């Protein structure tokens, strides 16, 4: 067993305990995240609907050539 003069690492303090003090300050006003969430709630619903419609249009336009190719390949038999 190595003695203290041969140790490569310092002894860790395994008995460390937190002070228990709560350093977080509670503000009377709600955080900015909640303000923006409430302010943009209606607009987000409208934007979500617009994005969903655009996504469906893009998926439909992407699937159209694939289905056309599958149909053309089925006619080759």
In percent, the amount of the chain with pLDDT more than 70 equals: 66
Q: What is the pTM of this model?
A: 0.43
Give yes or no for residue 4 having a pLDDT over 60: no
Position 36 pLDDT exceeds 60:
yes
**Domain positions in the chain:** 42-77
Task: Tell me the pLDDT of the chain averaged across its residues.
Answer: 78
Residue 26 has pLDDT above 90, yes or no: no
Q: Which of 22-31, 32-41, 64-73 has the lowest mean pLDDT?
A: 22-31
For the chain, give the longest Cα–Cα distance: 86
Give 6's contacts (C-beta < 8 A, 6+ positions apart).
none
Contacts for 4-8: CB closer than 8 Å, 24+ residues apart: none
> For residues 17-42, b (16+ Cβ closer than 10 Å) or e, as one string?
eeeeeeeeeeeeeeeeeeeeeeeeee
Q: Is the pLDDT of residue 20 over 60?
A: yes
């Amino acid at each position: 067993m190595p003695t203290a003069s041969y140790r490569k690492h310092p002894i860790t303090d395994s008995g460390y305990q937190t002070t228990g003090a709560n350093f977080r300050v509670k503000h009377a006003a709600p955080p900015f995240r909640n303000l923006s969430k409430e302010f943009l709630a209606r607009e987000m619903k409208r934007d979500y609907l617009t994005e969903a419609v655009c996504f469906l249009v893009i998926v439909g336009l992407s699937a159209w050539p694939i289905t056309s190719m599958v149909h053309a390949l089925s006619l080759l038999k």
